Amino acid sequence: MLGLSALRVKREGRVSKYIKEKIAGGEVLHFTLIDPAKLANPESLESTAEKVVAAGTDAFMIGGSLGVSERDVDEVASRLKKFGLPVIAFPGNVNGLSRNVDAVLFMSLLNSEDLYYVIGAQVAGAVVVARYGLEVLPTGYIIVGYGGTAGFVGKARPIPYEKHDVVLAYSLAAYMMGMNYIYLEAGSGAPQPVHRDSVRLVKSTLPEAVLIVGGGIRTPEVAAEIARAGADVIVTGNIVEDNLEKAVEIVKSVKSIRRQR
């Protein structure tokens, strides 16, 4: 038997403490997203990681919407662990989990039209997460604008970029349901990122929530703009593969920002 009665949930653990202490200290965090299915040159993973770590990235996220198996996440996680930063699963589905990560963004894709992405995958994955003893970061995942593969696969009804009030309403609902991480996602490779006015509105209304923003952030200027608007965490994925030098500049620009708390 699975021993279901022995399962425990790990919330507010080491990773959450790490994130919250940095935010309380006035930092904006940068997370480097590695999609195992998009690694053009898997051998160069460590040398790529070394460069973003030297620039100051705060954590690694591993995940993707298509073509990611648990074994891929296992392998990438164990290779990234040696850098000493938190390694966080960003699962597009149940197969995006791994024993080797420190925590999981336990997400509900709130504006999906398919209940599977809102609650079905979470039910399927919850026992696995508890059995692996992973720390959970309860996350409301909200897809805005372009949406990309995550939006298509997740059957999202993306919120139009300029509908800041709708983005806020979803964020409020997420927070009221106990999700203290809000992830505003424009979709990997989005032609434009989430609008800074949406970011500003969500952060000013929910100062206690950890606001993660990703999708289509390709320049240090845009990253800084979104960070200044109130994002607590900036995520970049594609640019790390496409233009590592630019990715390093983005990390440095995010890490140069200090906020009054």
The one-letter code for the residue type at 136 is: V
Tell me the number of residues near ligand 1GP by CB under 6 A.
Answer: 15
Closer of 130 and 219 to ligand 1GP (Cβ): 219
**Phi, psi dihedrals of residue 108, rounded to the nearest 5°:** -120, 125
In whole angstroms, how close is the CB of 17 to ligand 1GP at the nearest point?
Answer: 23
Q: What distance in Å separates the CA atoms of residue 112 and residue 165, rounded to the nearest whole number? A: 18
Which residue in 236, 250, 253, 255 binds ligand 1GP (CB under 6 A)? Answer: 236
Tell me which stretch binds ligand 1GP (CB under 6 A): 7-15, 114-122, 134-142, 209-217. 209-217
Binding mask 171-190 vs ligand 1GP (x if CB under 6 A, - otherwise)? --------------x--xxx
Cβ 89 to ligand 1GP, closest distance in Å? 13
Q: How many CA atoms lie within 13 A of 194 on its CB side?
A: 37
Map residue 73 onto helix, strand or coil: helix
- Closest contact distance (angstroms) between CB of 12 and ligand 1GP is 24
Out of 231, 237, 251, 254, point to the residue binding ligand 1GP (CB under 6 A): 237
Cα distances from 213 to residues 48, 125, 130, 222, in angstroms, run 22, 24, 27, 12
Q: What angle do CA 99, 29, 196 make, to 5 degrees?
A: 120
Q: Give the CA distances from residue 46 to residues 1, 16, 51, 63, 164, in Å, rounded to whole numbers and listed in that order.
A: 39, 25, 9, 17, 39
The reply on whether position 238 binds ligand 1GP by CB under 6 A is: yes
Q: Which of residues 11-40 bind ligand 1GP (CB under 6 A)?
A: 33
Reduced to 3 states, what is the DSSP secondary structure of residue 112? Answer: strand
What's the closest the beta carbon of residue 120 comes to ligand 1GP, in angstroms? 20
Tell me the CA distances in angstroms from 36 to 6, 15, 45, 72, one per residue in order: 32, 22, 10, 6
Q: Which of residues 121-150 bind ligand 1GP (CB under 6 A)?
A: 150
Q: Which is nearer to ligand 1GP, 141 or 175 (CB)?
A: 141
How many Cα atoms sit within 13 Å of 146 on the Cβ side?
A: 17
Minimum distance from residue 133 beta carbon to ligand 1GP (Å): 25
Q: Residue 250 CB, nearest distance to ligand 1GP (Å)?
A: 9
- Name the residues that contact ligand 1GP, by CB under 6 A: 33, 150, 185, 188-190, 214-217, 235-239
